[in-house]
Amino acid sequence: MSEPHIRDNEWWVSPYNNAPDVVAARQLPAKVEIHDATLRDGEQTPGIVMDVADKVAIAEKLAEVGVERIEAGMPAVSEMDFTAIKEISRLGLKSKIFSFARAVTVDIDKALDCGCHGVIIEIPIGYPKLKYQFKWTWEDVLRKSVEVVNYAKKRGLYAVYFPYDTTRARPEDLENLLTRLMQEAPPDSIGIVDTMGCALPEAIKHMVRRVKQLTSLPVEVHTHNDFGMAVATELAGVEAGASCIHSCANGLGERTGNAALEELMVALHVLYGYDEQYRLDKLPELGALVSRITGVPIAANKPILGSKNFTRESGIGVDLVVREPLAMFGTHPALTGRAGDVVLGKKSGKASITYTLEKLGLPIPEDGLVNEMLKQVKDKGIAKRGLVSDEEFLAIARDVMAVKA
């Protein structure tokens, strides 16, 4: 099934997504790239350590899924990170390999030694960060930025200027900085970084438009999930013309995490119709690998990857799980290599019983007996405060049939 979310030329998502005023306000780029930072920001999730083999395995899976860029780590953090980035660069993956650098030339040298295609050059510009942490003047920020962007570019690296905590910089400071940077050391692209996840989607749109106007450079967006909006703010960035968005698999990352790779990929395809060559069916494998390596479980109701996303206990319309999944779920389970499922419990209906009987290869008895099975399933679910297993259902079904006989 190549386009399971399209049927009769209709997208099975909200038609209001394409209301005339909504479409008119959009400046979607022709192509959106994903820059995945699982191996750097994802590893910044407290307590997580990935060794070289782990990082290589995740990088290979990210490339298989089809991310355009992999941020393989920050070599300054440890020898192990340096080695991992170097190994990943050597693999010749289809994804371009980036490393993360402070605005210091030694970090750029490390990116070069690792054989990276590009580098993310981070420098703090948020008002609270500069005032309370770094105590740098704007001239300091500009001087460091100019020196290091020029240094990286002269050595052939693709330079992403990443003035982090961008969304808490004063507008006039950000504009002055970018104007002068463009005069003295234009990078290859500019990141808008919502380090604390505190910008609204409309604010990100405004910033993307303004930065594009000021610099005429490609803009990328990197957001965090402190208010549960990381994916929404990145998609808002795309709506305003950002052509690269940053992600972490399973939504890992500092504090509440980054925009989840799997959510972004599926949203780009299903909600916006981007037809990038992503292997969405491989996302569960990537999620499982990252979860196993990091020890961070995937919540059962996590968008795209949660084990219960395509599971229906409620009886009303339960037959749709198999007959027409798009009428029951937000996306077709097959899109991400998943399948719908019906489980039994307090909220089951008659169709749940007949579905389960068929699944277990049992004949469907007369209505009265199905109703009796349903009653017993509900009683069991209530008594257990949980689901009724196949084994428990089989016992119920046998009892009901035995009484009839």
Ligand X SMILES: CC(=O)SCCNC(=O)CCNC(=O)[C@H](O)C(C)(C)COP(=O)(O)OP(=O)(O)OC[C@H]1O[C@@H](n2cnc3c(N)ncnc32)[C@H](O)[C@@H]1OP(=O)(O)O
Binding residues for ligand X restricted to 193-252, rule: CB under 6 A? 195
Binding residues for ligand AKG restricted to 103-122, rule: CB under 6 A? 122
State the Cα–Cα distance between residues 147 and 104, nearest whole angstrom: 8
DSSP 8-class letter at 24: H
Is residue 122 near ligand X by the rule CB under 6 A? yes
Binding residues for ligand X restricted to 147-176, rule: CB under 6 A? 164
Q: Which is nearer to ligand X, 74 or 290 (CB)?
A: 74
Minimum separation from the CB atom of position 126 to ligand X (A): 9
Rounded to a whole number of angstroms, the distance between the first and last alpha carbons of the chain is 45
Instruction: Specify the stretch interacting with ligand X by CB under 6 A; choose among 121-129, 281-289, 365-373, 385-393.
Output: 121-129
Binding residue (CB under 6 A) for ligand X from 19, 23, 25, 77: 77
Q: Which is nearer to ligand AKG, 44 or 354 (CB)?
A: 44
Q: Which is nearer to ligand AKG, 104 or 320 (CB)?
A: 104
**DSSP bridge pairs for 190:** 161, 219
- Backbone phi, psi, residue 304, to 5°: 70, -50
Is residue 234 near ligand AKG by the rule CB under 6 A? no
Is residue 322 near ligand X by the rule CB under 6 A? no
123 binds, among ligand X, ligand AKG, none (CB under 5 to 8 A by kind): ligand X
Minimum separation from the CB atom of position 224 to ligand X (A): 9
Going residue by residue from 31 to 50, which x/- string records binding to ligand AKG, judged by CB under 6 A? Answer: ----------x--x------
224 binds, among ligand X, ligand AKG, none (CB under 5 to 8 A by kind): ligand AKG
Q: For residue 222, what are the contacts with CB-CB under 8 A and spacing of at least 6?
A: 35, 37, 162, 164, 191, 192, 193, 194, 245, 246, 258
**DSSP bridge pairs for 121:** 101, 161
Is residue 142 near ligand X by the rule CB under 6 A? no
Report CA 50 to chain centroid distance, whole Å.
19
Instruction: Answer left, alpha or beta for residue 364, where phi above 0 means left and psi between -120 and 50 means alpha.
Output: beta
SS3 362: coil
74 binds, among ligand AKG, ligand X, none (CB under 5 to 8 A by kind): ligand X
Instruction: Specify the stretch interacting with ligand X by CB under 6 A; choose among 69-77, 153-161, 180-188, 393-401.
Output: 69-77
State the Cα–Cα distance between residues 177 and 139, nearest whole angstrom: 9
The DSSP result for 118-180, as a single string, is EEEEEEE--HHIIIIII---HHHHHHHHHHHHHHHHHTT-EEEEEEESGGGS-HHHHHHHHHH
Q: Which is nearer to ligand X, 81 or 372 (CB)?
A: 81
Binding residue (CB under 6 A) for ligand X from 29, 60, 66, 144: 144
Minimum separation from the CB atom of position 50 to ligand AKG (A): 16
Q: Check if the beta carbon of residue 308 is closer than 8 Å to that of residue 321.
A: no
Binding residues for ligand AKG restricted to 275-314, rule: CB under 6 A? none
Is residue 193 near ligand AKG by the rule CB under 6 A? yes
103 binds, among ligand AKG, ligand X, none (CB under 5 to 8 A by kind): ligand X
Q: Which is nearer to ligand X, 32 or 193 (CB)?
A: 193
Binding residue (CB under 6 A) for ligand AKG from 224, 346, 378, 380: 224
Q: Check if the beta carbon of residue 43 is closer than 8 Å to that of residue 10.
A: no
The DSSP result for 196-215, as a single string, is TS---HHHHHHHHHHHHHHH
Instruction: Specify the stretch interacting with ligand X by CB under 6 A; choose among 8-16, 120-128, 217-225, 373-381.
Output: 120-128
Q: Check if the beta carbon of residue 325 is closer than 8 Å to that of residue 358.
A: no
Q: Check if the beta carbon of residue 149 is closer than 8 Å to that of residue 181.
A: yes
397-to-345, 365, 373, 403 alpha-carbon distances in Å: 14, 10, 6, 10
Residue appearing with tokens 């909220």: 347
Instruction: Report the relative pairing of strands 10-11 and 6-7 from DSSP bridges.
Output: antiparallel
Minimum separation from the CB atom of position 225 to ligand X (A): 15
193 binds, among ligand AKG, ligand X, none (CB under 5 to 8 A by kind): ligand AKG
Is residue 89 near ligand X by the rule CB under 6 A? no
Residues near ligand X, by CB under 6 A: 74, 76-77, 102-104, 122-124, 144, 164, 195
Residues near ligand AKG, by CB under 6 A: 41, 44, 122, 164, 193, 195, 222, 224, 254
